Chain A
Amino acid sequence: MIHPNSPVLLEVRGLCASVNGIDILKGLDFTVRRGEVHAVMGPNGSGKSTLAKVLAGHSAYKVTAGTAKLDGQDLLALAPEARALAGVFLAFQYPIEIPGVANSQFLRLAYNTLQTQRGQDELDPLEFDDFVREKMKLLEMSPEFLARSVNEGFSGGEKKRNEILQMALLEPRLAILDETDSGLDIDALRIVSSGVNQLHHRDKAIVLITHYQRLLNYIVPDFVHVMDAGRIVKTGGKELALELEERGYEGIGAEHLPEHEARHRAQAVAVAP
């Protein structure tokens, strides 16, 4: 939901980043206010996932220019774990399997690390068990996923649910969902989307990285951005995704507008009665 006077949560300016010496992001501007849902779309190789990894602090991605601020704080100066504790959450496109670590153990460790950071008491295994089971209901996950090793042997859909379960536990300010819809069947898509929607809040923001308009039927974005060659080249309201679905990236006549201009236009559409 757009709240015109809502404070800026994430502000990215002129962001350039490379991986293995290849420039991927080439001067990206991106602003997210509290309460908003943004969809980032774009062809393969346009830099969508790189944006997600750079914001989360993956060491393989080198920032070569630009800034990224979370509530005015320099995000790029923080280690990945500090970003997580500051409220940035990345739902992975390919969640990692960790054989030998029980999911419950992992979830509790992550949760208690955050609790400690917030100066609050850690939950013991029994307390945490009650707490996490409640959250699992949101995603219609069976408690058996607590005893199993992290993501090991989980289906694609189960892994994605487990990602959103982590989001539910960590309650991030800024959640970046990297192709969370890929590999989901219709039922799983509905469940995951419903979970995300219930976690959304006017103080928080969500960035959805996706290839498909389909997801946006379930999680309705306030803004849709089109990335190409490492920049956002077009920004619109949710109807832009439908237009993309119909005409493809070639057909929408993506032009590189200054971000404030694009945002202004999109907002005008979005808040129109």
Chain B
Amino acid sequence: MSAVIALRGPAVAGSQGTLWADHPRLPSSPWACVNALRSQGRADLGTLAMPTSRDEAWRFTDLTPLGKLSLQPASGSGRVSAADMAGFQLAEAATRLVFVDGVHAPELSGPTANTGGVLVANLPTALAALAAQAAAVEQHLGRHQPLGSDVFAAFNTAFLSDAAVIWAPRNATFAAPVHLLFITTQAGVVSHPRCLLIAEAGSSLTLIEDHVSLQSVACLSNAVTEIVLADQAKVRHIRVQRAGPQAFHIANTSVSLGRASHYRSVSVDMGAQLSRHRLDVVLGVGADCAVDGLAVVAGSQLADTHSCINHAQPHGRSRQLHKCIAGGTARAVFNGKVKVQPGAQHTDAAQMSRNLLLSTRARIDTQPQLEILADDVKCAHGATVAPLDTEEVFYLQSRGLSDSAARDLLTYAFGAEIIARIPVPSLRQQLQQRMLAQTGSRP
């Protein structure tokens, strides 16, 4: 089977076409469901063009630099030593699943024991596990992503070979977080991190999805995460993107919320020269979600977040606070849609976009959007873009802090509000340290 993908459509003629041209053949998977998904991904790629700035959803995010890269899948697994891992260890994590340049690294993963009936495994292991687990995986894998409408999600699916799978059985409560660590190590490599979380009815789980780089090399990480909450399940999801400064990171997260389920997520984008996160949440009857985000960019970085919170059923509640901090000539984009479908009465939705501009040459584009098709709802949204408040800076200076120390502290504080919502102290501390390094402060 040939898996060489050439994208059709106008983009292929341009520089983007070279992006995928050199892919080797992908051996056929022993699992029929995987082969079927790949075919579907390939079929979708045939109808999708690479986005350009003429596409509304990509107006501010120019993919030209990505198109200039020559990318290949990982040839052999990258070398990651125990010392390399030290900086990414999270003491609270019950178990860790590591992928290096997209390839499962069992020697870096573990432990597998004592996970309270919760399955944490890579895809082949999960499909070979208990019939009920394999059936759940087959039922959900690839069913929640934006297939047919997102070229990157389709690309990930066309190359599906492995994935992180987390399955929590009915009423299982698993307090300690599951840590998924996706490490990029090699230049010119494209990897397709893939994650599927299935929380059966009444279960409760915390997932950390962590995208990191070992060194600063130009590479592409193209992630797809599908999260399914059955009725009354509770999931906390922390997504961290701290890739190296030359990396490209594209992520599609799709979340499906069953009746009266609870989903809390914090998403932090700090790394990569270009990052794009698309987040889709669909709420069932009485579902409750809080999705918060922070993008911190400096230099010439770009971070783009597109979210869509879709109230498909009545009595749903959603909260969203998204913050961007942009310095240098960096650019941040936030496009947050809240949809209330016909019949989704008694929806309660609130969205806020707050943005901090640290330089006159930085740019932040924010676009909150409400699309309300029901008449008995409570929806609020707002957006602010501002530099640091001079009164706040003066207050700190009047206590002896230098102008730069005052600005650093205020910048740190602006981001800290989101980081404080991460329920994992060691991760919170790592991110605060990185914020400090990035803002130069020392509180």
Contact = CB atoms under 8 A, between A and B. Distances in A.
Interface of A: 56-60, 79-81, 83-85, 89-90, 92, 95-96, 98-101, 105-106, 109-110, 113-114, 117, 149, 166, 170
Contact of B390 (A60, A79, A106): A60
Interface string B109-140: 00000000000000000000000000000000
8 nearest CB pairs, A to B: A100-B413, A100-B416, A80-B397, A110-B399, A96-B395, A84-B400, A101-B413, A113-B400
A84 B403 contact: no
B400 A98 contact: no
Contact of A92 (B395, B405, B410, B417): B395
29 contacts: A57-B394, A57-B397, A59-B390, A59-B394, A80-B398, A81-B400, A81-B401, A83-B398, A84-B397, A84-B398, A84-B399, A84-B400, A85-B400, A89-B398, A96-B395, A98-B392, A98-B395, A98-B396, A98-B413, A100-B415, A100-B417, A101-B410, A101-B413, A101-B416, A109-B401, A109-B405, A113-B399, A149-B413, A170-B399
Nearest to A53: B394
A59 B413 CA distance: 23
Interface string B382-413: 00000001111011111111110110011011
Interface in B156-196: none
B424 interface: no
B30 interface: no
B442 to A, nearest CB: 8
Contacts of B396: 98, 106, 110
B401 A110 contact: yes
B414 interface: yes
A99 B413 contact: yes
Given A59-B390, A96-B395, A106-B443, A101 B409 contact: yes
A252 B391 CA distance: 36
A197 to B, nearest CB: 22
A59 B416 CA distance: 27
A166 B390 CA distance: 20
A166 B417 CA distance: 24
B370 interface: no
Contacts of A100: 412-417, 420
A79 B397 contact: yes
B398 A57 contact: yes
Given A80-B397, A98-B395, A117-B400, 16 more contacts: A81-B398, A81-B402, A90-B398, A92-B395, A96-B392, A98-B396, A98-B409, A99-B413, A99-B417, A100-B415, A105-B443, A106-B443, A109-B409, A110-B399, A113-B401, A170-B399
Interface residues of B, number: 27
A170 B396 CA distance: 13
B421 to A, nearest CB: 11
Contacts of B410: 98, 101
A79 B399 CA distance: 12
Contacts of B401: 81, 109-110, 113
Nearest to A100: B413
Contacts of A170: 399-400
Interface of B: 389-392, 394-403, 405-406, 409-410, 412-417, 420, 442-443
A95 B417 CA distance: 20
Contacts of A95: 395
A70 to B, nearest CB: 14
A59 B390 CA distance: 9
Contacts of B414: 100
A151 B223 CA distance: 41
B412 to A, nearest CB: 7
A58 B410 CA distance: 18
Nearest to B392: A96
B394 A80 contact: yes
A100 B401 CA distance: 17
Nearest to B402: A81
A176 to B, nearest CB: 10
Nearest to A101: B413
Contacts of A105: 443
Contact of B400 (A59, A92, A114): A114
A58 B394 contact: yes
Nearest to B420: A100
A90 B396 CA distance: 11
A94 B420 CA distance: 26
Contacts of B399: 84, 106, 110, 113, 166, 170
A110 B395 contact: no
B99 to A, nearest CB: 33
A92 B391 CA distance: 11
Contacts of B417: 99-100
Contacts of B395: 92, 95-96, 98
Contacts of B397: 57, 79-81, 84
B415 to A, nearest CB: 8
Contacts of B390: 59-60
Given A96-B391, A101-B443, A105-B443, A56 B398 contact: yes
A96 B392 CA distance: 6
A112 to B, nearest CB: 9
Contacts of B394: 56-59, 80
Contacts of A58: 394
Contacts of A79: 397, 402-403
A243 B64 CA distance: 76
Nearest to A80: B397
A9 B425 CA distance: 49
A151 to B, nearest CB: 9
A168 to B, nearest CB: 13
A85 B402 CA distance: 10
B392 to A, nearest CB: 5
A89 to B, nearest CB: 8
A196 B316 CA distance: 53
A85 B405 CA distance: 14
Contacts of B400: 81, 84-85, 110, 113-114, 117, 170
A254 B391 CA distance: 34
Nearest to B413: A100
A84 B392 CA distance: 15
Nearest to A83: B398
Contacts of B391: 96
B403 A81 contact: yes
